[in-house]
Amino acid sequence: MAWREDPFDPPGEAIEAADHALAALRRRGSPSYDGLAARLADFSATDGRLSLVLQPARWALRLIPEGAAGSLSILCTVRAADGRWLAGRRAEWLASWAGRWALGAGGSVEVDENPVATMRRELHEEWSVEPERLRAEALVLLPSGVVMLIGQAWLAAGATVVPDHEHDEFAWWPAEPAHWPEAAHEALHRTAALVSG
C-alpha cells in the first residue's frame, strides 16, 4: 500500500454536489465532518496479493450519489467462533444506511492509515472487540463510485461485543445466510457471499 502526497482535485460540480450533500446531513442532525480521507487512485492484484495506491480526498465526496470519485471505505464483517454473523441496526442520525441493519463495522480510511488498520480501529470503536483473525477479502466498486474494501474478522470463543452509540440494536445472525431475518437487505447477502466464497 502506498499514499500519494497530492490531494485529489475534484471538478467544480463535484465540489458543489458534496457541499449540498453535507448541508443535507447538517439539516437532519447527522455529523458533518468534512476533512480528508482516502480515495483509491490505483490498485493491482498479483499472486493473491492486493496492492493499493491511495490519495487524500475530501470526505464529503463519498456523499455524492453517482460521483463519489473512488472514495475508499472499509466494511469488516464479524464472525463469532461458531460462524454466526454480527449485525447491528444503524442509528437514524447516521450519514449512511440510517435505520438499516448492517454487518460488522465500517468507516472511511483516514489519511496515511493502512485500510486493514482502519478495520481494526472501526471494530474497536463500534464493537469494543479485537479480532483473533482478520483478512481483507474483496474490493468492490459501488454504483455511487465509492470503493469498498471488505474484510472478515473472526472473534475468539466467548468474546463479548459492546455496541457504540451508532447502533440502536444488535444481534447474532445464523452462520447460514439463508436463515437470516427478513431485515437482512440483499446487499448483506451479497457481502456474505463475497467473504465466504
Q: How far is CA 159 from CA 58, 81, 124, 156, in A?
A: 36, 9, 13, 6
The residue ranges of the chain whose pLDDT is under 50 are none
For 129-151, what is each residue's pLDDT tens digit? 999 999 999 999 999 999 999 99
Q: What is the pLDDT of residue 96?
A: 80
The set of cell numbers assigned to 186 is 440483499
- Ranges of H-type helices in the chain: 12-27, 115-127, 186-196
Domains in the chain with CATH codes: 2-196 (3.90.79.10)
Q: What is the pLDDT of residue 30?
A: 79
Cα dihedral sign, 167-25-120-146: positive
Q: What is the pLDDT of residue 16?
A: 94
Q: Are 103 and 84 in contact (CB under 8 A)?
A: no
Sorted by sequence, the CB contacts under 8 Å of residue 59 that are 6+ apart come out as: 33, 34, 35, 36, 37, 71, 108
Q: What is the pTM of this model?
A: 0.93
Give the Cα separation of 3 and 41 in Å (integer). Answer: 9
For 72-101, what is each residue's pLDDT tens digit? 999 999 999 999 999 999 998 887 888 999
Sorted by sequence, the CB contacts under 8 Å of residue 50 that are 6+ apart come out as: 43, 44, 136, 139
Cα dihedral sign, 125-129-134-136: negative
Using DSSP's 3-state secondary structure scheme, residue 82 falls into coil
The set of cell numbers assigned to 119 is 478495520
The set of cell numbers assigned to 156 is 475468539
In this structure, what is the dihedral angle of CA atoms 40, 45, 50, 54, given to the nearest 10 degrees?
-20
Backbone dihedral angles phi then psi of residue 109, each to the nearest 5 degrees: -90, 125
Instruction: Annotate 139-169 with three-state secondary structure.
Output: EEECCCCCEEEEEEEECCCCCCCCCCCCEEE
Q: Residue 165 corresponds to which amino acid?
A: H
